[in-house]
């Protein structure tokens, strides 16, 4: 039996993102994101109900500012006391775990998908997804981008505007494009 595109995506294999089942999952996420981004703040609270229901898991006292965007939502796990500032985007075609007490500044982007390097295969919608893990008590400065397959260790700091292409060690401070270590605690 041939695996579905969703099953291939979950397994970390090459899959076609131009798939009806994946389209419907993304449409459900867009509806939840729309609710979150358009509800008055007093009605939305820390997170719109539809968005809260979409995520894989959410710890206590999490807060997501509007606007926010995610591609599926169902692959996102937030620990306790996680804060996402306005304009954060998580393209969660693979699992994204954000640990307890971590804070993302405005406009932080997390990307799990990598499109194929071959033009014909990329045009056909072929991509592969790799998980992103953000440890506990991490601070990610505004406008930073975390790429597919990256793990950011506990207590690390990612400078504003950094492009993180490889793992960040526990307690390290990184900045730049590509991000490089500029300090340790």
Count of CB atoms within 10 A of residue 17's CB? 18
For the chain, report the end-to-end CA distance as a whole number of angstroms: 51
115 is catalytic: yes
Q: How does pLDDT run across 29-64, given as a tens digit for each residue?
A: 999 999 999 999 999 999 999 999 999 999 999 999
Kindly report whether the peptide bond that precedes residue 12 is cis, defined as omega within 30 degrees of 0. Answer: no
Annotated catalytic residue: which of 36, 69, 109, 115?
Answer: 115
Q: How does pLDDT run across 64-76, given as a tens digit for each residue?
A: 999 999 999 999 9
What predicted TM-score, i.e. pTM, was given to this entire model?
A: 0.96
Number of domains in the chain: 1
User: Residue 73's domain spans which residues?
Assistant: 5-184
Q: Which helix (H) or strand (E) holds 33?
A: helix 20-38
Q: Please report, for the domain that includes residue 141, its CATH number.
A: 2.160.10.10
3-class SS at 109? strand
């Amino acid at each position: 039996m041939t695996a579905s595109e969703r099953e291939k995506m979950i397994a970390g294999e090459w899959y076609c993102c131009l798939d009806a089942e994946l389209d419907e999952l993304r449409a459900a996420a867009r509806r939840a994101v729309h609710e979150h981004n358009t509800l008055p703040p007093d009605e939305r609270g820390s997170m719109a109900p539809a968005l809260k229901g979409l995520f894989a898991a959410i710890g206590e006292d999490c807060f997501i500012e509007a606007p926010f965007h995610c591609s599926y939502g169902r692959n996102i796990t937030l620990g306790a006391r996680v804060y996402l500032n306005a304009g954060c985007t998580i393209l969660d075609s693979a699992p994204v775990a954000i640990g307890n007490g971590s804070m993302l500044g405005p406009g932080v982007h997390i990307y799990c998908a990598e499109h194929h390097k071959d033009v014909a295969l990329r045009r056909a919608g072929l991509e592969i997804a790799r998980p992103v893990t953000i440890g506990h008590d991490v601070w990610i400065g505004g406008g930073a981008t975390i790429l597919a397959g990256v793990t950011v260790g506990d207590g690390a700091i990612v400078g504003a505007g950094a492009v993180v292409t490889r793992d960040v060690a526990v307690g390290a401070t990184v900045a730049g494009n590509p991000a490089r270590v500029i300090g340790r605690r």
